[in-house]
Structure 1
Amino acid sequence: MTALPEPLSLWVETAPSPDRTGVPVPESADVAVLGAGIAGLTTALLLARAGRSVVVLEAERVAAGVSGHTTAKVSAQHGAKYADLTSRHGAGAAKAYAGTQTAAGEWIAATAAELGIDCGFTRADSYVYTTREATVDSLKREADAAAAAGLPASFIEDVALDVPALGAVRTTGQAHFHPRRWLLGLAAEIERAGGTIVEHVRATALNGQTVRTSRGDVAAGEVVVATHYPVLDRGLYFARLDPVRDLVVAGPAAGGAAPAGMFLDADTHHSVRGYTEQGTPMVIAGGEHYRVGAHVNVERRYRRLAEWADEHAGLHRVTHRWSAHDMSTPDLLPYIGRYLPGTKNLWVATGFGQWGMTGGTAAGHVLAARILGEPHPAADLFDPNRFDARSVLEVAQDNLTVAKYLVGDHVAALWRSEKLDDLRPGEAEVVRVGGELVAAHRDEAGKLHTVGAHCTHLGCLVSFNDAEKTWDCPCHGSRFGVDGEVVQGPAVRPLRRGPE
């Protein structure tokens, strides 16, 4: 395996976007949508088509964040999920969940055809397989639960992938696509319907129905927070979401033949699917997930994933690599609905658990229906303010992990003896400078970059991501560049400047 390229999403590189950074921020709108990813743009399109004035506020560029860094499967088969959903919430809930995800995929297919969006929408069967004897019975139960939920699912013994599979759940008629081309098509349609999309404007606070942003205020009748990780701390979403990152590598398929399907290992969570870009069959492989900000060697994990894809999926040359940012809820269902029980005009969509293409699309339909005063069959199921007794312990355990990082990292950093001058090119460390903790990185050219080491969300110490050259917070998933600027929330303020 040759050296890996610098991180760059295939979807972002191959779908140039119109520049909306100079679009003025309107003073008011019926609906302000925060975030131009799949959930935000779907919500905005449905509301604009219903005659509402809509403004979408995006901190970076349209579909260049989480939605532009995914494996882009349009599938209702969400791993081995339906047996757990049925056990935890009942057969009716599992069927309702499957119905929303299936409907989301079909809406994408129909709307892409209606609008002529060339997003490479391709039907493919989806497989969750195992190479371990101990997992076979659980996959058989999963196949039964998925079929009972209404999916075209069955258990089979062989998969068309170079792995020693002992069995798999196959779900037919699923799909994959180019997510950014799809979302750029939605963005253009929003504007044709009278909506406004503004890039490089960061929402920083909400005062009543006024959205405070980095470029002025917007008065909105309704506010939708679709920023992946909710940027407003009300509702304690940071305590109810588990942030993880999955790595992705892609490149030309060996022999010019990409995998004919979408495959996921139930045990290791390695995944692979085919894709064709300008006539070139490609392999897209994902996996090696870890908690955001955990003290792991991300570069080593990328290499391990590339080696797995080389051996099992015919990916001999990596041309692109990127990472996907995901949020999971403790009870396996996303949070879609009112931000808080008492709020009438503030809405949220988050927690899609690695399945944001259908999950985010379904969220747009739920939120649009509720804002328009229409019923939606999954509104109660996805209510962010639902209570699930089994989740209490899981939330407590996750927050013990947060406490471990919050306290343990401070203690470890205060005892370190490294100095800024000790850092060699390419190295990074949190070091003590006088009475302060500083996040320091010396780039390959020898230039030192220093910023405050405390995340501006709740004060946890950041950790360096050696592959993507970012400072990541292990508590709630905020990410910052080496210059301290926010890459990903829930933080909305940059890290303070460090000593020169």
Structure 2
Amino acid sequence: MTYDPGSGPGPASGAGSLWMEYAPGPARPPLDASIETEVAVVGGGIAGLCTAWEVARAGHPVVLLEADRIASGVTGHTTAKLSALHGMAYAEIASVHGARAARLYAHSQQIAVDHVAEVSEELGIDCDLERLPAYTYTEDPAMAGKLREEAEAARAAGLDASYETEVPLPFPVAGAVKVENQAQFHPRKFLLGLAADLEVLGGRIFERTRVTRLQEGTPCELTTSGGHTVRAREVVVATHYPVFDRALLFTRLEPKRELVVAGPIPAGQDPGGMYLTPEGGTRSVRTAPYGEGRRMLIVTGEKFTPGTEGEGEVGERFRKLASWARERFPEVELTHRWATQDNFTTDRVPYVGRLHAGSRHAYVATGFAGWGMSNGVMAGDLLASRIRGREPAWTSLYDPVRLHPVREAPAMLRLQAQVGKHFIGDRLPGAHADSTADIEPGAGAVVRVGGRRLAVHRDAAGALHAVSARCTHLGCIVHFNDEECAWECPCHGSRFDVDGKVVQGPAMKPLEQFDVDEEEAR
């Protein structure tokens, strides 16, 4: 099936995530009784599964709790580049944190890349892993100097980096950073294999189990939406955006959504590497195996803050990304499109370590900034090491409790200004539809009904779906993403389906449902 990016928005315009087409593996049961364990991990994405597996491999009893299905959230919608070259990271990290920090960052990331290859071979996981170079490139001659500086910074940090003026892309570039011996893979194949081995090692996985409360202590206690508890000596919160935020990380995390289009190309047109440019709202290119004589081209870009795009704007972003792909790879037959979400920290480095300054037995992993594959593996190793009483050399680099007030203040103030703008501005008159009559089929808007702000969606059949417009995280007003048919919070990135169910945190509770009379709401 192909799709026309100019034919209009909606799920029918293309298949979803390529990775999610892979069988989900055996369903794990929800938690149906209170239990005890040594280590409890909240979140079944790459960071949570890697942490749980590393802990179990070290001989510790571990329980993993996932609100949906494992490897199906952000990890199931990634681009799945496994690289230590993170765009233009190294010059900035060296400037903000120092040359030693840049070396530690590079070393920890490259170890993570190599670790996936080693574990895949050890466990016999066929996850389509390919060792290839990674590139950060520019088409703008004015940016070539910045790329040369990044190549020097990456090389000084210990990566096998070089500056290139010619790369195997089918269009000219002005300059590029190249790092050898990186990788790309199928993330779900790898993680489902890891989950199977986790259970062989004695670990327990519970799906459809949402954790709603954490009480720290000796032991810690987690409470689920079903009312059951998990008592554990150590707890890891690996929910992408932390659902328990006791270090005020929400003031230092910025959520960004990014779009993906994909489709087969002739194998002879495979550019043989992983490519990224920060230009034009970011453009990322890689391929994946796709039958004999073809490769699946995967193009990512068009970053935006969830909940800030107006009607039709996300669809237009998809069309721009598809047009870019077709201009540069004319023979691509686009068949898939999806979106992913990432959290960016105010100082470029993820938060992996203590949940807050007073934590003794609770940890967090977040802020991977679009590089969740290497950072998720790194986080699993780092957190498992700390639970075992060891501290890798890069422990303090990633410590969430770190704060650089002078350097981070501008970014933190900008984030809080954005949150304040939405928290106040979205409540003002004029920010919503006047009545449900203004809502077309497939669209959604915030409408005041009986003095209450409701988020109302009209489905293709004309039926109304009404839920509270207040995000259950901190109360910001949600906005409708008509392309993905979801309510999104512009403050901290929580997402809900049209019936209010949590699709993505930090929100833990659904939006309250309401019955709306069409005439009453006019």
**TM-score, normalisation: structure 1:** 0.97
2:228 is aligned with 1:212: no
What residue is the counterpart of 1:376 in the other structure? 392
Query: 1:21/1:445 Cα in 2 relative to 1: closer, same or farther (>3 Å)?
Result: farther
What residue is the counterpart of 1:452 in the other structure? 468
Offset, 1:467: 1.5
Between the aligned partners of 1:480 and 1:22, the Cα distance in structure 2 is: 21
What residue is the counterpart of 2:4 in the other structure? 3
What residue is the counterpart of 2:321 in the other structure? 305
**TM-score, normalisation: structure 2:** 0.93
Q: AA paired with 1:354? A: G
Question: Is the 2:478–2:490 contact (alpha carbons within 8 Å) kept by the matching residues of 1?
Answer: yes
What residue is the counterpart of 2:9 in the other structure? none
Task: Show the 5 A alignment for 1:393-404.
Answer: 393-404=410-421
Question: Is the 2:14–2:335 contact (alpha carbons within 8 Å) kept by the matching residues of 1?
Answer: no
Question: Is the 2:466–2:499 contact (alpha carbons within 8 Å) kept by the matching residues of 1?
Answer: yes
Q: AA paired with 1:400? A: A
Question: Is the 2:441–2:460 contact (alpha carbons within 8 Å) kept by the matching residues of 1?
Answer: yes
Query: 1:257/1:411 Cα in 2 relative to 1: closer, same or farther (>3 Å)?
Result: same
Offset, 1:498: 2.3
SS of the residue 2:162 aligns to: strand
Residue range with higher mean Cα deviation, 387-396 or 78-87: 387-396
What residue is the counterpart of 1:287 in the other structure? 301
SS of the residue 1:230 aligns to: coil
Between the aligned partners of 1:111 and 1:310, the Cα distance in structure 2 is: 36
Between the aligned partners of 1:308 and 1:489, the Cα distance in structure 2 is: 31
Offset, 1:426: 1.5
Question: Is the 1:272–1:313 contact (alpha carbons within 8 Å) kept by the matching residues of 2?
Answer: no
Between the aligned partners of 1:212 and 1:419, the Cα distance in structure 2 is: 40
What residue is the counterpart of 1:410 in the other structure? 427
Offset, 1:254: 4.4
Residue range with higher mean Cα deviation, 2-11 or 126-135: 2-11
Between the aligned partners of 2:169 and 2:23, the Cα distance in structure 1 is: 29
Query: 1:139/1:445 Cα in 2 relative to 1: closer, same or farther (>3 Å)?
Result: same
Structure 1 portions without partners, runs of 5+:
none
SS of the residue 1:381 aligns to: helix
Query: 1:22/1:315 Cα in 2 relative to 1: closer, same or farther (>3 Å)?
Result: farther
SS of the residue 1:136 aligns to: helix
2:193 is aligned with 1:185: yes
Q: CA RMSD in A?
A: 1.5
Cα-to-partner distance string for 1:314-335 (whole Å, 9 max, x where unaligned): 4632221111110010111110
What residue is the counterpart of 1:271 in the other structure? 284
Query: 1:412/1:253 Cα in 2 relative to 1: closer, same or farther (>3 Å)?
Result: farther
Percent identical among aligned pairs is 48
What residue is the counterpart of 1:167 in the other structure? 175
Offset, 1:23: 5.9
Query: 1:99/1:416 Cα in 2 relative to 1: closer, same or farther (>3 Å)?
Result: closer
What residue is the counterpart of 2:478 in the other structure? 462
Structure 2 portions without partners, runs of 5+:
6-12, 517-522
Between the aligned partners of 2:98 and 2:314, the Cα distance in structure 1 is: 38
Between the aligned partners of 1:173 and 1:98, the Cα distance in structure 2 is: 13
SS of the residue 2:514 aligns to: coil
Residue range with higher mean Cα deviation, 169-178 or 18-27: 18-27
Between the aligned partners of 2:447 and 2:238, the Cα distance in structure 1 is: 35
2:272 is aligned with 1:260: yes
What residue is the counterpart of 1:250 in the other structure? 262
Between the aligned partners of 1:294 and 1:398, the Cα distance in structure 2 is: 14
Query: 1:6/1:446 Cα in 2 relative to 1: closer, same or farther (>3 Å)?
Result: farther
Query: 1:24/1:331 Cα in 2 relative to 1: closer, same or farther (>3 Å)?
Result: same
Q: AA paired with 2:492? A: H
Between the aligned partners of 1:79 and 1:160, the Cα distance in structure 2 is: 18
How many positions carry a matched residue from both structures? 499
Cα-to-partner distance string for 1:222-277 (whole Å, 9 max, x where unaligned): 11000000001322121110000111111111466333111111322111111113
Query: 1:302/1:365 Cα in 2 relative to 1: closer, same or farther (>3 Å)?
Result: same
